[in-house]
Structure 1
Amino acid sequence: MLKSTLSLRPLRGAVMAVSLLALAPVAGAAPKLAPRALSPKPTGRELPAQTYVERLVVKFHEGSRVRLRGDALRALASERGAAERESLAGLRLDDARVDADVAEVAALLERAPRIGALSRLFQGEETALDANKASGEALSGQQLADLNLYFEVPLLPGTSAEGVAELVAALNRVASVETAYAQPPAEPAMVNFGMEAGLRTLLAAADVPPVTPQYQSAQGYLNAAPGGVNALYAWTVNGGQGTGTRFVDVEGGWRTTHEDFPAFFRVGGTQFNDLGWRNHGTAVLGEIIGASNAYGVTGIANAATPGVEAIGAQSAASAITNAAGALGAGGVILVELHSQGPADGTACTCNTSQCNYIAMEYWQGEYDAIRNATANGVVVVEAAGNGSANLDAAAYGGRFNPATRDSGAIIVGASTATTRVPMCWTNFGARVNVHGWGESVVTTGYGDRFAGNSSEDQYYTSTFSGTSSASPIIVGTALSAQGVAIANGRRLTSVQMRGLLRNNGTAQAADARQIGPLPDLQKALPKVISGNY
């Protein structure tokens, strides 16, 4: 995600460096579900001191049954089930201790430099979140987080990580708290902020005819391997245009009325009223569902049905969960965001304004949202981020270790358009599964290639970039494969899709930075048809 000048708040967020532990089963009990991976509580000082943070997040331990009733936190002891009581017993927490801890957390949060009231981090109905947890556990055989145990407090603009570090530490000393952290805002994973003011001046002065040219021949990522993903081949296969599939893009804004877009099945959340966000989202969508017609661009999965979920008035974690609920099993979510993480010691020699920006699942709320979605059969594709970061570094405390903390998502790095060499700024590591083009992507939005009558509905670009441009390519291939699977009477899970795309692609150029292969649909789709994936 690399382009555009967004009028964004400075993004630097307090996060925690963590390594993973498994939740120990209750003594003498044979757990029915594989345990969740847990992270050590953060200290509050993982990030640079002046990192801007926008919310405090608190999650109580599983089994505590803490809920927001009115404006107050309440531990609903009488509503705890047997498994919840067992979880608390394993943590040596009784009703009195949980009640006292809830009161202590409430008092601590009153000290926060806040601009709003305490609220639930996940905005979905409590009963729906409970049902999704139960169904995901039944399908996956693994314990999932109770998303109703997450709460947030919005912080005053300009609040720094240092400014709330002691408060975060105090919250994490409370026994009934599983984790507490300060979180930075999420940004599009794109490069080259700062272009748009000049672009608007250029467009205002241009006299461009309204007839839109056809740009499919310039979309090199559609082409055969090794340069592209072989979308042209996929379109000859039954279902290969993404027929019968749906996806939701999670970010901040879109031009949903663009001339090259179909109807949307969902437009959720509150969008930012910002041209940069809209152009970014519009560019993402064009790669996936640009209409197959005589003008504009052609998306990889141009028969798929799009949806969007905006983060303007909710956390990315909440948006992911809402998107998953709208899609159901077999649907695809694209997380087109990244955020400031801890410094990993890797020198940033380019794109320095996003140094150490990392994938969203580093934060526990986003991780749990993604894990609950993939457990319920939703495919999740997530930008690795543009922070030049080695996600295997000790600074991240094992949060990107696939052996111990696997959300099930497909994490996407970025390469050059022609050589498959990792882009200078792409994040990399064992958790990065596949890659797409990180530069020179022709798609909708921005207007630098074509602006029609200077309406956003006719904007096209030749320069979309970042893990933001790479990730929609992977979503397109996933929707193509899912369309073929549906045509053959099956649906792929996120883990199955990840394996299919990772094992059937064109290898990245030799480089110490792992970003995985570029998927090749001509290799992958026969495996889908045969069921051998």
Structure 2
Amino acid sequence: MWRLSMPMSSLLSMRPLRYAMLSLSVLAFAPSAVAAPPAKSLKPRALAAKPTGRELAGDAYVERIVVKFHEGSRVRLRDQQLVALSSDRDAAERSLLAGRGLGDARLEADLGHVTSLLERAPRIGAMARLFDEAESTLEARKASGERQSGEQLADLNLYFEVPLMPGTTSERVADLVAALNGLDGVEVAYAEPPPEPAMVNFGMDAAVRSLLAAADLPPVTPLYESNQGYLNAAPGGIDAKYAWTVLGGQGQNVKVVDIEGGWRTTHEDMPDLFHMGGTQYTDQSWRDHGTAVLGEIVGARNAYGVTGIAHQAKAGYESIGAQSTASAITRAATAAGLGGIVLIELHARGPSDGTACSCNTSQCDYIAMEYWQANYDAIKTATANGVIVVEAAGNGSADLDAPAYGSAFNRNTRDSGAIFVGGSTATTRLPMCWTNFGTRVDVHGWGERVYSMGYGNVFGASYGEDQFYTSSFSGTSSASPIVVGAAASAQGVALANGRRLTSTQMRSLLRANGTPQPANTRQIGPLPDLAKVLPKVIAGDY
């Protein structure tokens, strides 16, 4: 699939500062007040590895500096100043801080150093909280997640950001990041690159491009369901058509929220959306991408266009146009609620793992979003609270087991609970040449030749964007919605049978009940098979 046509510097300049009011909403399963810590001790949260500041290539664009203070410090932003609310610390927080050897004097001094260092950044705005949701909401979610999971979760209120000037490179702020990480009171600081949709650049025909702005009265749209091979039975597809015959198998009562940059909400095959959060980008490449993603999952089942795998699910979106990916994750989790599904349709440029890119070289080294600590902590909090998270593994030809990533993708030491998705060919199920791979990649979907809504290369180019359809959506972007559709189908069946699957249960279920990938040194996992999955769900055998 084609790539964003605008240069990265233009894309960066589109990202406005965030001035939106903080949301006061909470997850349906979160308490209205912060509950007391659970009686039993929690599994400790592992500390994030402090970056050197030079993990990314020097010419990599970065859009913000993220700083997180140590657990227990109770650092908050008050009147645009960092303060440590020492009188508000509970016993557990005092213990955590003491365990780090951090006294109030040292912490106060470090807050001053952080403020001074960030003032030197090439920034375009003031320091702000990284997560938009209200402090009380994040505290409630942390408490409820810890009760349910038995694990200590991050205090997301300890994350702060400074937005950087468009065009800022990693090299320009590397020394600043290193200095921030040299402070005892800082748990982790890093420069974060801008996310992009995880689609592959195959170019757009010039004739099609010239027609994109055309609009006319719509003619009858063909029905493309027979072209959606991923709906078919194994080994080629996930057998969605079988799932539609099972009670709940069309995704009934399941909420799905897509995280990316834009959608064509008025498309003729788009169902009514239950949640429309964040600020969308105006760029059509983002809009076509989001439309194609939702088409695979919830495209309306009718006499025309495409049919979504879980077309009875309730769909929504959370846009990153005016907020960080991490903030979008928490907001999407709030909207999806207990048992709902959040899809992260993004990847970003990470460290080089040394793997050569033989194709899709413009996205070489692009990796999954949870590599960056705030995204990981947001995902971990979501899955601990019963939300299923599906994450595109990325299109960077990267071996996620490589030493370049430390333990970031080692499930034995750092498991967010998310389901990672790789991309395969449509016919052989072999890994696409650009897909990321490794033991962290759980399952795969079609990474090419996916029929869906958007783009207009098979229909609609002459009739207007509301009738755009494509035959060539690609990347881990096209693979991940296939897995989300399978997960929504399985969750719908579980709900119909009085059960509800967690993210880790869903991950195990899909991994254990699929069509294996052909023998290959690059692991991308099996293609889910709903004919195998759903009987296990009905029997409670997972």
Equivalence for 2:108:
99
Residue aligned with 1:411, SS? strand
User: 2:163 aligned with 1:163, yes or no?
Assistant: no
Equivalence for 1:350:
359
Equivalence for 2:33:
none
Equivalence for 2:221:
212
Offset at 1:196?
7.3
Map 1:70-469 onto structure 2 (within 5 A): 70-192=79-201, 194-195=203-204, 198-203=207-212, 210-451=219-460, 454-469=463-478
Verify the 8 A CA contact 2:494 2:537 in the aligned structure 1. yes
Offset at 1:220?
0.1
- Letter of the aligned partner of 1:52 in structure 2? Y
- Letter of the aligned partner of 1:221 in structure 2? Y
Equivalence for 1:25:
none
Verify the 8 A CA contact 1:3 1:466 in the aligned structure 2. no
Offset at 1:453?
5.2
Equivalence for 1:495:
504
Aligned partners of 1:65 and 1:204: how far apart in 2? 52
- Letter of the aligned partner of 1:461 in structure 2? T
Aligned partners of 2:304 and 2:273: how far apart in 1? 20
TM-score, normalization by structure 1: 0.94
Offset at 1:480?
0.1
Instruction: Give aligned-pair identity as a percent.
Output: 70
Q: Against the structure 1 CA distance between its residues 5 and 158, is the aligned structure 2 distance closer, same or farther, given a 3 Å change threshold?
A: closer
- Letter of the aligned partner of 1:3 in structure 2? W
Q: Against the structure 1 CA distance between its residues 517 and 69, is the aligned structure 2 distance closer, same or farther, given a 3 Å change threshold?
A: same
Which stretches in structure 1 are left out of the alignment for 5+ residues?
A: 13-29
Equivalence for 2:8:
9
Aligned partners of 1:319 and 1:4: how far apart in 2? 22
Cα root mean square deviation, aligned: 1.6
Residue aligned with 1:178, SS? strand
Offset at 1:452?
6.5
Deviations 1:412-440 (A, max 9, x none): 00000011000000000000000000000
Deviations 1:352-372 (A, max 9, x none): 000000000000010000000
User: 2:76 aligned with 1:67, yes or no?
Assistant: yes
> Larger deviation: 78-87 or 190-199?
190-199
Deviations 1:210-245 (A, max 9, x none): 211100000000000000000000000000000011
Offset at 1:208?
9.0
Which of 471, 474, 490 does residue 481 from structure 1 map onto?
490
Aligned partners of 1:358 and 1:386: how far apart in 2? 7
Verify the 8 A CA contact 2:212 2:462 in the aligned structure 1. no
TM-score, normalization by structure 2: 0.93
Which stretches in structure 2 are left out of the alignment for 5+ residues?
A: 13-38
Aligned partners of 1:105 and 1:205: how far apart in 2? 52
> Larger deviation: 193-202 or 287-296?
193-202
Deviations 1:374-425 (A, max 9, x none): 0000000000000000000000011000111000000000000011000000
Verify the 8 A CA contact 1:210 1:453 in the aligned structure 2. no
- Letter of the aligned partner of 1:518 in structure 2? L
Aligned partners of 1:198 and 1:99: how far apart in 2? 61
Equivalence for 1:16:
none
State how many pairs are aligned.
515
Q: Against the structure 1 CA distance between its residues 206 and 176, is the aligned structure 2 distance closer, same or farther, given a 3 Å change threshold?
A: closer
Aligned partners of 1:205 and 1:338: how far apart in 2? 31
